[in-house]
Amino acid sequence: MDIIDKRIDDGKAFDWGRTSSDYAKFRDIYPPVFYQKIVDRGLCVAPQRVLDLGTGTGVLPRNMYRFGAAWTGTDISPEQIEQAQRLSEEAGMNIEYQAVSAENIDFSPESFDVITACQCFWYFDHEKVLPHLSKLLKRNGKLLILYMAWLPEDDVIAGKSEALVLKYNPKWSGAGETRHPIWIPDVAYKNFTLREHEEYDVKVPFTQESWHGRMKACRGVGASLNAEELSSWEEEHKALLKTLPQQFDILHYAALAVLEKIDG
């Protein structure tokens, strides 16, 4: 399913379904502290019901399943949902998944204690989605927005890999990340109050294979390059990786924002 949005990559089409197998294998990379900061805030734990928007391959619900919340995950890509279901079933986890866009989710009012959006919030039509999310949350319900990105200016390997993505996909708007609070559109404050935000650095371990897979599974590569471009990118990136140690850390920053439903 091609997605075209002028806000993203200058409207260049991308399709997460094209990279779902790599996404399932290589993008489950959040360190333990990422999840612990959620739990420390009393979010996504038993007996709460949680809706994970843009769940992808179910990374967030699968990793937080042990904390006892009842999870539902949705994603616009059927292929991503297929991988999420497979991985959850293999792990013996009872997680409900639906292939549906955030703009078209359909649940009863006040169904959830928490709604999460990890690595996906900027894709949404906020004018449409945010009022609807407010209706789906129970009284004092929370909207938790999560993000993690490598820092190309501070990490040499990340910087070189990112430069190679831009060589083949110069319109990719995911480049050049710096530390900053998660962006919250003004429309959100009609239905939510920003309770807190936090930004912090993390070092994420990789091997040559897993870093190559992580880069391939990003929107600017596997989801948007054609077959010829992807083959050339892979060849060049593997050549770059051969100059590196077999194992290394990549510096990232992580961020979260907790918004609380305004009850009127």
The string of pLDDT tens digits covering residues 24-70 is 999 999 999 999 999 999 999 999 999 999 999 999 999 999 999 99
Band (pLDDT 50/70/90 cuts) for residue 193 is: very high
Residues contacting 120, CB < 8 A, separation 6+: 53, 54, 56, 102
Residues contacting 170, CB < 8 A, separation 6+: none
> Stretch 211-232: mean pLDDT, rounded?
97
> Stretch 233-237: mean pLDDT, rounded?
98
Q: How much helix, strand and coil, in percent to the nearest 5, is found in the chain? A: 40, 25, 35
Band (pLDDT 50/70/90 cuts) for residue 5 is: confident
Q: In what order do the strands lie in the sheet with 96-99?
A: 96-99, 70-75, 49-53, 112-118, 137-150, 247-261, 192-207
> Stretch 154-168: mean pLDDT, rounded?
98
Report which of residues 264 and 11 the model is more confident about. Answer: 11
